[in-house]
Amino acid sequence: MKKLLFHRSIEYYQIENSSDLEKFQLREFRFFKGLGIVDYQQTFKAWLKKFPRPLFIAAIHNHRIAGWVHIDTWPEGKARDGNPVFVLRAIETSPDFRRKQIGRTLVYLALKHTLGYMLTKPVTSKSSRFFKEIGFQKPWDIASIQIDLSRYSNHVLLTPAAKKRSMAIFEETLEIQKGPLSNVEISMPGLNDPEEQVGKTGALDGKRSVEGGKPSGPEPTSVENSVEKRNRSVRSAKDGKEEKMDDHTPGAKSGRLPDSKKVPNKGDDYDHSVIFLFDTSHELHKSSSWSPENPRRVTSILEAIIEKRDNLQQHLLMQPNTPAASFRDLSRVHKPDYINFVKSYCESGGGFLGEDVYFTQDTYFVATVSAGSAIQASKEVLAGKAPFAFACTRPPGHHAKTDKQSGYCIFNNAAIVARYLQAIHGMKRIMIVDWDAHAANGTMEIFYNDPSVLLVSMQQDPHDFYPFEGLSKQLGKGPGLGSIINIEMPRSSGDAEYRIVFNEIVWPLYHQYKPDFVICCCGFDPYHLEDHTQLSMTSQGFHNIGSMVGEHLSGKVVTLLEGGYTRNLGHLVIAYLEGMTGQENHFKEDFDILSSQTIQQEKCRKVLRTKLNELRLILKEFYEF
């Protein structure tokens, strides 16, 4: 049994078996009364035994069950777009507690702790109105429905996009206090394969009551994360002072603070914990024509985590549904006219703008969530919840410039985090380390004149490779001269070459610059199976980098997902995380090394040595090697 929330004198627990109910009293509920049942306590426990489920939440008041919600998996499996599908089978609240909005809170928690689609069948006109008002739609009202509901008459559906909006409404109207959730171990039912539950689920079509009514007040333009935070904002406004805290874009869709698995104490594997942030809204950013930068990238990573979860469970703290970055967060890096252009272009339907960047009607929101996830990752580390954080989001960011999209990138996530840390936390020195196969030209442009951010970018030699920037001679300008370090990696550079660069360039720079915080832009496209690059890293190479990051940067680093487009992307991310958490690399790759490949590798090593020697000469007036 897990405590999920304490709200308005009601405790909410996830019930895992009937023995959890021994300490609680169960009185009259309409559902059981409608079946003519008198012994509620025993019937309820027997019913719970009969229906194993991924999620059952009970509301408790003074050791009495005041309400419950039952969420089951959909017997038909996943939706056509790969999302899991859950069914809200029943929800019940005791008449004695109706004014405490227990029903709404139970629905909120049900949505919060599942991923993908939510399906239900309202049985009263009141419940039909309630589900409609929070975003559920009839199948024929959904333009491109991903679920076959031909055999499920009178059911309504909540899509992932509508689900996020519903969450925002609930959090605002219920004024949920987030604090108690920080010590909750949250499972990931939405990522389990629904097919595993086939044959175990049971329909519950009897009577049930749903607390209805439209949430009071307009749809929120911002979602504050606690009552206290909202009060501090009001007090600051009254004092005429600007509070140093995150804000949200007025009128824009907003995310919510993520769930958190149980945060370990410092003596409880603290040094090997990674907070893993992700958000299913990324699926709304999908090109009408095929693009390597597509939702499958993140989906494959999550599937790999599920597959290896037993190995990572004691180290990986999953946090879904991250908050969107605010207009102020974005405008610390990007020009307001550019931000407004992206937003209006998306609202008009989107399209293809060149530079390999496409927009959908939801891309602006998805891009702000991607940037917001990066910010949230830094917050979690600075709060001491874990020494490492990995933001698994898309679209990527390092090609985006102050006023231009480029190379799949819309907003520069790393730059946004850096400016956030400087503006809100007063940090003086930020270091960005980028090992994507393509140069971080957007990040370079943003900080080209700024000595407060040191960018170290290693990429395939850009003389004849996109973005044709990131040359070793590009060092910055004016006061920023020496703050841009570009390392040209020769073709065929592999695990050994990257280790040389980290040991001989990156870590010496780190120890001399002494940054307050480090942002790692983790591109997985130096991988040897990538179609559009000519580098030769293996999973072991990414594992090595993860190990070095874990050794040098504990407590002051976040990792942001950049490129990587092969079918093995999920395994590569796992290898990196295993390296960071001190585990063995479980994704072994076998190679038949031909003599020609050995000769090619020797040539590559010589070219790299020459380039590093030239780079040291260029940097000698700024750093010692």
3-state secondary structure of 300: helix
Q: Compute how many other C-beta atoms are within 10 angstroms of the C-beta atom of residue 161.
A: 17
3-state secondary structure of 554: coil
Strands (E) located in 461-504:
484-489
Backbone phi, then psi, for 433, in 5-degree steps? -115, 120
Contact in structure between 59 and 65 (CB atoms under 8 Å): yes
Q: Which tokens go with 541?
A: 């190479």
Angstrom distance (rounded) from CA 49 to CA 290: 47
Q: Compute how many other C-beta atoms are within 10 angstroms of the C-beta atom of residue 600.
A: 14
Angstrom distance (rounded) from CA 578 to CA 574: 6
Q: Is 528 a catalytic residue?
A: no
Strands (E) located in 279-378:
316-320, 351-352, 358-359
Angstrom distance (rounded) from CA 495 to CA 480: 31
Nearest partner of 164 among 361, 435, 362, judged by Cα: 362
Q: Which tokens go with 119?
A: 């399906």
Q: Compute how many other C-beta atoms are within 10 angstroms of the C-beta atom of residue 591.
A: 9
Please list, residue by residue across 128-160, b when 16 or more beta carbons sit within 10 angstroms of its beta carbon and e when fewer do. bebbbebbbeebeeeeebbbebeebeebbbbbb
Indicate the helix (H) or strand (E) that contains 442: helix 441-446
Contact in structure between 61 and 6 (CB atoms under 8 Å): no
Q: Which tokens go with 325?
A: 């970055």
Q: Which tokens go with 396?
A: 């990527």
Catalytic residue among 113, 399, 438, 571: 399
Please identify which residue in the block is written with the tokens 């109910």: 21
Cα radius of gyration (the chain): 26
CA end-to-end span of the chain: 56
Nearest partner of 442 among 502, 357, 535, judged by Cα: 357
Give bridge partners of residue 319 from the DSSP assignment. Answer: 277
Give alpha helix (H) positions in 157-202.
160-174
Q: How many helices (H) and strands (E) does the chain have?
A: 18, 17
Angstrom distance (rounded) from CA 185 to CA 172: 24
Q: Report DSSP letters for 376-387, one per residue.
A: HHHHHHHTTS-S
Question: Which residues are known to be catalytic?
Answer: 399
